[in-house]
Amino acid sequence: MTSSNQTPATVSSSSRKSLTLIQFLSLIAFGGVAASLLLKLFV
């Protein structure tokens, strides 16, 4: 299993990208929820 030796580096790089994507999606979701709440308060 030589591929197992290469998995840590690929996993670390992919995990960093996934973390950034998750943070980006969470920010979008939070912004959408906040906007909907503000609209409900104003309306």
Structure tokens at 8: 């840590």
Rounded Cα–Cα distance for residues 13 and 32 (Å) = 29
Residue type, 15: S
**pLDDT digit string, tens, across residues 2-41:** 555 555 555 566 766 777 889 999 999 999 999 999 999 9
Q: How many residues does the chain have?
A: 43
Residue, of 42 and 27, whose pLDDT is higher: 27
Task: Provide the residue ranges of all domains of the chain, joining segments of one domain with +.
Answer: 1-43
How many Cα atoms within 13 Å fall on the side-chain side of residue 8?
A: 2
d(CA 31, CA 37): 10
